[in-house]
Chain A
Amino acid sequence: NAGVTQTPKFRILKIGQSMTLQCTQDMNHNYMYWYRQDPGMGLKLIYYSVGAGITDKGEVPNGYNVSRSTTEDFPLRLELAAPSQTSVYFCATVGGHSYEQYFGPGTRLTVT
């Protein structure tokens, strides 16, 4: 039981490149979230999903897209990377019976 896994752990992108951050959970949870954490800041919600086929914007969705074709996977897509997207990205999930979210280990992204 791996919980929440994220790949890659690290990535350096050039401005304008695109990439997909992968998130997979084996907890059979309906709710999944993508956050970014900038230095000295809390976690900001980018997108979330309440189940397969359903996604919605969080606080800071600009420059990102998501999809949720299965319960397990919730990839985050950056289409045109910008330096402002340099951050650490966390995926999380919750089962719906409590507010306790389970987080993946994060992806550290640098855009130069």
Chain B
Amino acid sequence: DQQVKQNSPSLSVQEGRISILNCDYTNSMFDYFLWYKKYPAEGPTFLISISSIKDKNEDGRFTVFLNKSAKHLSLHIVPSQPGDSAVYFCAAPRPGGSNYKLTFGKGTLLTVNP
């Protein structure tokens, strides 16, 4: 049962344009979401997060939008740069516990072409 879904395995955009990565979730108890970025041969690194009390969080070129009614969040990267090429994972803490476990989506491979 995949509770966090990233339905696009890959995305290709031109340098300078906007990249939009999408994530859907099925568990309405999720109240916090994180995005991780992963380069080949490295571990994932935290990028940005959002609490369910907000519908937007911005950090430089990265903005995450949350639509609770649709159980959907998206990560916007503007402008996209070749160094943004990586796999992006959406994740959510499992509700009901205090052990900080995360449920991850399958990831989306973003390629930014020069």
Contact = CB atoms under 8 A, between A and B. Distances in A.
Most buried by A among B43, B44, B99: B43
B104 A42 contact: yes
Nearest to A3: B43
A56 B94 CA distance: 15
B34 interface: yes
Chain B interface SS verdict (over half): loop
Nearest to B33: A99
Interface in B7-23: 9
Given A40-B9, A43-B44, A90-B43, A101 B105 contact: no
Contacts of A106: 41-43
Interface string A1-14: 00010000000000
Interface string A38-56: 0011110100101000001
B76 interface: no
Interface of A: 4, 31, 33, 40-43, 45, 48, 50, 56, 58, 90, 92, 94, 96, 99-106
Given A40-B9, A94-B100, A101-B100, A4 B34 contact: no
Given A43-B89, A99-B93, A31 B100 contact: yes
Most buried by B among A42, A96, A102: A42
B106 interface: yes
B43 A103 contact: yes
Contact of A101 (B9, B41, B102, B106): B102
A99 B32 contact: yes
Contacts of A41: 106
Contacts of B43: 4, 90, 92, 103-106
Nearest to A96: B100
B81 interface: no
Closest 8 A-B residue pairs measured CB to CB?
A103-B43, A42-B104, A43-B104, A42-B106, A100-B46, A94-B100, A99-B93, A103-B44
B89 A42 contact: yes
Nearest to A91: B43
A45 B101 contact: yes
